[in-house]
């Protein structure tokens, strides 16, 4: 009888966790409203979902995003952070895009999960103390390797470093070869979208 009661309570608990919250409904409504409109250096919907799933699956709580644009990927990352109790630091150099991203995050109800910085990522990434357990790099492609080198010592063991535009070639073969051959990481390429997301887990 006691074991049956435990099973019932567990089932109720799982069901309650799975139920969308008011914030979930607000974010999903925002994403549905703007789907197909993210053309200003933003990721496609599919890649945003990849980032969200990685964070939820691994329960990451300290994220860094290099390249906010107008905030599509930031919405996905911040939404995941609302589930894990974490926060994302996101960096954008363009003032117009930075301000639009802040407006989008407010409309989605996710401002409390984001530390949005208007700054040059070349400088700020070096200065941020970390540590981070999740990183999304989607800024200037010719600086991808340097961003990776700057963040590497601040990324926690088993943390995840993701890079956009790898399948479509914008990141360049040199970066792909550098990361996939790095002895401290296990790396795979998700080709769900044409752009592609390189997913690298720090193993040592």
Each residue's pLDDT expressed in tens, for the chain with a length of 204 residues: 554 444 444 444 444 445 889 999 999 999 998 887 777 678 889 999 999 999 999 999 999 999 999 999 999 999 999 999 999 999 999 999 999 999 999 999 999 999 999 999 999 999 999 999 999 999 999 999 999 999 999 999 999 999 999 988 888 889 999 999 999 999 999 999 989 999 999 998
Which residue in this structure is represented by tokens 């939404």? 79
| Distance spanning both ends of the chain, measured CA to CA | 47
**To which H or E segment does residue 172 belong?**
none
DSSP one-letter code for 67: -
What's the pLDDT at 18?
A: 59
Spatial distance between the Cα atoms of 120 and 204, rounded to a whole number of angstroms: 29
DSSP one-letter code for 61: -
CATH number of 22-202: 3.40.50.150
**For the whole model, what pTM was predicted?**
0.88
In three-state secondary structure terms, 93 is coil
């Amino acid at each position: 009888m006691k074991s049956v009661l435990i099973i019932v309570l567990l089932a109720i608990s799982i069901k309650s966790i799975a139920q969308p919250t008011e914030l979930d409904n607000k974010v999903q409504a925002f994403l549905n409203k703007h789907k197909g409109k993210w053309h200003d250096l933003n990721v496609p919907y599919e890649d945003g979902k990849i980032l969200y799933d990685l964070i939820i699956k691994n329960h990451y709580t300290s994220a860094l995003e290099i390249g906010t644009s107008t905030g599509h990927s930031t919405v996905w990352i911040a939404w995941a952070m609302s589930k894990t109790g974490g926060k994302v630091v996101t960096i954008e150099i363009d003032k117009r895009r930075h301000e639009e991203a802040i407006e989008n995050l407010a409309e989605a109800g996710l401002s409390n999960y984001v530390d949005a910085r208007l700054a040059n990522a070349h400088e700020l990434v070096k200065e941020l103390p970390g540590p981070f357990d999740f990183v999304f790099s989607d800024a200037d492609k010719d600086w991808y390797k340097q961003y990776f080198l700057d963040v590497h010592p601040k990324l926690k063991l088993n943390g995840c470093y993701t890079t956009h535009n790898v399948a479509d070639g914008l990141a360049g073969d040199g970066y792909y070869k550098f990361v996939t051959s790095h002895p401290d990481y296990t790396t795979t390429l998700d080709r769900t979208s044409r752009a592609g997301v390189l997913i690298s887990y720090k193993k040592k």
